[in-house]
Structure 1
Amino acid sequence: MLTGILAGLAAGALWGLVFIAPRVLSGFAPVDVAVGRFVVYGAFAAVLVCAGWRSRPRPTRQQAWAALGLSMLGFTGYYWLLALAIVDAGTELPTLIIGTIPVWVMLLGKPGHLRWSALLPGLALTMAGLALMLGVQQAGDTTAYPHTWRGIGLALAAMASWTAFAVWNSAWLKRHPEVRASDWTNWLGIATGVGAMGLWLLVGSEPKVLLAQEDKALAAIVFVAIGVGSGWLATVCWSMASQRLGASLCGQLIVSETLFGLLYSFVWDGQWPSGLQWLAVVLFTLGIVASIRVHR
């Protein structure tokens, strides 16, 4: 059990890196950060597929198209929207908004026996935490993020994108039990890399602009960290946690992604959260945990 908990926390710590990456690479456009992450992830998945080329099945055309479409929702499109949101609104608010994804996934898949009234306390706490964090940010230096509301809209779009991915991806896997989860993960990775290259060709920066950046070495390190670390390695850690822990406990560990994302943000800013920010985080966390526990 301890191994499973540590693996789940490690996955959350790795996922949390994606919230700070756009700020570390502030000289790069958000679309370039998203493309860099997913090209690395796709290349790593391609290496794994090639290593087992003779022993593992190949995707059919229908499976390949499904992987490409779902990868746009859960990876390329989602992270591009998130990166844009972080540029417009900072890290804290988008991190909390994305952190509500487990709640929306559960609401969409609510068991028939569960009453809506049982979900209200958790939802109220979660919304109170979000509202308090928004109030703190709006009361602060408004010149730092003049487009906060646009960032909130982009974060909501990112949340909707990943929520749709979670629901449809689960439904697709249930309809295709013949596809192993490891194979599907690699196929998604390759599709994500292909989709990222297409996104870069459409709206990415020109090569000469990227080559002119002064922090190219830092960018390479960050892309590997969030491509391999937050992509492939985080998935491995989460699979370990899922094998060793019950579904309800795993669901509660998802909150660690949000908490690590906030921690990295405050460390990057070189400051401790204010009292109201601590209260917002506590309310948010209690709301998520309460929403998950009622599904036991």
Structure 2
Amino acid sequence: MLTGVLAGLAAGALWGLVFVVPRMLTMGEGGYSSVDLTAGRFAVYGVVAAAVMLLGLGRRRWPTPRQAGAALVMSVLGFSGYYLLLVLAIRDAGTEVPTLIIGTIPLWIMLLGKPLGLRWSALLPGLLLTFAGLLLMMGSTQGAGAGDATHFWRGIVFALISLLCWTVFAIVNSAWLKRHPEVNATDWANWLGVATGLGALLMWLAAGSGAGVLAAREERASFALLCVMAGFGSTWLATILWNMASQRLSASLCGQLIVSETIFALLYSFAWDGHWPTPAQFGACVLFTLGILSSIRAHR
């Protein structure tokens, strides 16, 4: 169990990096689009996964047609589709509300993936602490203007669909890995990576900036480096770690460990801004952490 918990926390630490990567580049008009960054991240993931598979031709298993189909579906739910929907949500509704909606993923996974033998009374303390942390973070976040109401509510719909995609991915991915113990975490991460990389290429061809435009931008070296960091560390390696956690832990405990992504993202954000969190923000992080510890204790 300890190995699974540590793997889940490490995955959360790597995933948290993705939230500060867009702030390191000029985004929007005159800069990189959300599709550029999304496609770049997942294209690197696909290249790394394909390279690992090719380098280990004699040792790596190749997916059956059914397993390849499962990887394609999972890649849309948990990677390209989820992230693109989130980007669209932020575009229409701003950052604050979509982020809070996505922050409820651990609660939904806990409610939907509870083991049959685990009592609600044992889960309740961790559930309440996590929910309290989310509420406190909501109250300590300064909201921006919603802008056009139609765009705002469209963004909320995108965020809700994004939430649904990743919740389904987390539960189905965990169940699939448990039903297929012959598939190890590295092989599954590579299969997901190749499927996601193909989707990223199609996404860029359909809606990304042209190759000439990307090459002409002054930040092209930083863009390439950040795509490599996000594609290798925050996606390929993090996926392997998350699959290790999914094979060793129940879906509800994995759902609580997702909270670590939010904690690390906040820490990275505070470090990038160069200031300490406010007392309310620090209190929210403490509640998140207590919720994780309470959930781990309940699952023993």
Fold equivalence (TM over 0.5): yes
**2:189, 2:240 within 8 Å by CA — same for their partners in 1?**
no
- Determine which of 52, 69, 72 is the counterpart of 1:68: 72
1:12-56 alpha-carbon deviations (Å, 9 max, x no partner):
322211111122223322221111111001000100111122443
Q: Does the 8 Å contact 2:11/2:241 carry over to 1?
A: yes
* Conservation of the 8 A alpha-carbon contact between 1:103 and 1:291: no
Letter in 2 for 1:188: L
Distance 1:241 1:273, change over 3 A: same
User: 1:283 matched to which residue of 2?
Assistant: 287
Question: Following the alignment from structure 1 to structure 2, what is the Cα–Cα distance between the partners of residues 114 and 3?
Answer: 21
Does the CA-based 8 Å contact 1:85-1:94 persist in structure 2?
yes
In structure 2, the residue matched to 1:18 is 18
Deviation at 1:75, TM superposition (A): 1.2
Q: Deviations over 1:172-224 (max 9, x none)?
A: 23343443332222111100100111222233233343234321110111011
The AA in structure 2 aligned to 1:22 is P
5 Å-filtered alignment, 1:101-112, equals 101-112=105-116
Note if 1:123 corresponds to 2:127. Answer: yes
Q: Which one of 34, 39, 42 corresponds to residue 38 of structure 1?
A: 42
1:213 corresponding residue in structure 2: 217
Query: SS state of the match for residue 179, structure 1?
Result: coil
Residue 142 of structure 1: aligned partner: 144
Matched residue, 1:167: 171
Q: Which amino acid aligns with 2:282?
A: W
CA drift at 1:69: 1.0
Letter in 2 for 1:14: L
**Which segment drifts farther, 25-34 or 250-259?**
250-259
Equivalent runs, 1:4-15 vs 2, <5 Å: 9-15=9-15
Which amino acid in the other structure matches residue 62 of structure 1? Answer: R
Question: Mapping of 1:80-119 within 5 angstroms?
Answer: 80-85=84-89, 89-90=94-95, 98-119=102-123
| Mapping of residues 186-201 of structure 1, within 5 Å | 186-201=190-205
Is the 2:107–2:255 Cα contact (8 Å) retained in structure 1?
no
Which residue of structure 1 lines up, in the alignment, with residue 232 of structure 2? 228
Counterparts of 1:111 and 1:241, CA distance in 2: 16
Contact 1:81 1:154 (8 Å CA) reproduced: yes
Contact 1:93–1:133 (8 Å) recurs in 2? no
CA distance in 1, matches of 2:257, 2:226: 24
- 1:59/1:187 contact within 8 Å kept: yes
Number of aligned residue pairs: 291
- Indicate the percent of aligned positions where both proteins have the same amino acid: 62
The match for 1:267 is: 271
The structural deviation recorded for 1:253 is 5.4
Letter aligned with residue 261 of structure 2: E
* Distance across 1 between alignment mates of 2:283 and 2:294: 16
The 3 A distance-change label for structure 1 pair 122 and 236 is closer
Residue by residue over 1:97-120, the C-alpha shift from the partner in whole angstroms, topping out at 9 and shown as x without a partner, is 545434422321212333445444
**Distance across 1 between alignment mates of 2:238 and 2:74:** 19
Question: TM-score, normalised on structure 2?
Answer: 0.79
The whole-number CA distance in structure 2 between the counterparts of 1:176 and 1:263 is 36
Amino acid at match of 2:144: T
Please list every run of 5 or more consecutive structure 2 residues that lacks an aligned counterpart in the other structure: none
1:77 aligns with 2:95: no
Change beyond 3 A, Cα 1:264–1:102: same
What is the RMSD computed on CA atoms of the aligned residues?
A: 3.5
**Stretch of structure 1 that moved more, 4-13 or 230-239:** 4-13
Shift of 1:70: 0.6
Question: Is the alpha carbon distance of 1:4 and 1:174 closer, same or farther for their aligned partners in structure 2, counting shifts above 3 Å?
Answer: closer
Deviations 1:68-121 (A, max 9, x none): 11111111112223444556544x776665454344223212123334454444
What TM-score, normalized to structure 1? 0.80
> 1:15 corresponds to which letter in structure 2?
W
Tell me how far apart the structure 1 counterparts of residues 174 and 278 of structure 2 sit (CA, whole Å). Answer: 39
